[in-house]
């Protein structure tokens, strides 16, 4: 068995499984003075779930303590909206699941399917980065504008930032690795371990 095909058959299924799990890691987040206050995963964007982060934890704690944080008099009744469902996140996860299924097929067709959908998922991840980064930048611009309008001393030095998180980068790197492994295995050509093609339904008539 050639090396590229051997590497794909051995590592493809495990890497693709890790990539699917990475969709549950933070993809994007908002930080305040370098502290992550809100973050959401690829799975959150697929299911429209509630995000995570310090602000979400404080809001949940406020609900459990009757709206008072830490047992004191400070009210914490902020409402945390659910993450909007993103079609690109759905496409990326669906394509990654197809790659995971194709990685278990030791055939040239399975490798071709894995390569195609790894590239589809990677493209959707790239589109998701561009669209979400734009939305978050607009949100931060509005927040910074609000701080200037309010002119509060305690807010003027607060640094609010937003962007991609490690889950997005790990997922993209995993998909790129899968595309490289599948592409190299395809370039090798047929492998002795591939299933033999089925014989024709009707044998040709004997020639005289």
Q: What are the structure tokens assigned to 23, written together?
A: 């969709």
Burial class (CB in 10 A: 0-12, 13-18, 19+), 143: middle
Residue 197 has pLDDT above 70, yes or no: no
The DSSP code sequence of the chain is --HHHHHHHHHHHHHHHHHHHHTTSEEEEEEETTEEEEEEEHHHHHHT---BSHHHHHHHHHHHTTTBGGGSS-B-----PPPPP-HHHHHHHHHHHHHHHHTT--SHHHHHHHHHHHHHHHHHHHHHHHHHHHHHHHHHHHHHHHHHHHT-HHHHT--EEEEE-HHHHHHHHHHHHHHHHHHHHHHH---TTSPPPPPPSSPPPPP-
Write the pLDDT tens digit of every residue in 63-111: 655 555 454 444 444 566 788 899 999 999 999 999 999 999 989 999 9
Residue 193 has pLDDT above 60, yes or no: no
Residue 14 CA to residue 18 CA, distance in Å, equals 6
**pLDDT, position 26:** 93
Inter-CA distances, 142 with 4, 52, 72, Å: 50, 22, 31
Q: Side-chain half-sphere of 83: how many Cα atoms within 13 Å?
A: 28
In the sheet that 160-164 helps form, which strands lie side by side, from edge to edge?
A: 35-41, 26-32, 160-164
Lowest pLDDT segment from 94-108, 114-128, 176-190: 176-190
**pLDDT, position 152:** 47
Report field, pTM of the whole predicted structure over 0.85: no
Residue 128 CA to residue 163 CA, distance in Å, equals 12
């Amino acid at each position: 068995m050639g090396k590229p095909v051997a590497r794909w058959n051995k590592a493809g299924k495990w890497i693709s499984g890790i990539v699917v799990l990475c969709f549950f890691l933070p993809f994007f987040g908002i930080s305040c003075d370098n502290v992550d206050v809100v973050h959401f995963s690829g799975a959150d964007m697929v299911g429209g779930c509630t995000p995570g982060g310090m602000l979400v934890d404080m809001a949940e704690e406020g609900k459990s303590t009757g709206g008072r944080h830490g047992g004191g008099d400070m009210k914490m009744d902020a409402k945390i909206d659910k993450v909007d469902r993103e079609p690109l996140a759905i496409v990326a996860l669906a394509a990654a699941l197809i790659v995971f299924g194709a990685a278990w097929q030791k055939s040239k067709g399975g490798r071709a399917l894995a390569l195609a959908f790894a590239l589809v998922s990677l493209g959707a991840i790239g589109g998701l980065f561009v669209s979400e980064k734009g939305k978050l930048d607009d949100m931060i611009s509005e927040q910074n504008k609000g701080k200037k309008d309010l002119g509060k001393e305690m807010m003027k030095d607060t640094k609010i930032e937003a962007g991609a998180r490690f889950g997005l980068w790990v997922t993209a790197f995993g998909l790129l690795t899968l595309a490289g492994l599948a592409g190299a295995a395809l370039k090798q050509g047929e492998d002795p371990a591939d299933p033999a093609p089925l014989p024709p339904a009707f044998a040709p008539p004997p020639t005289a």
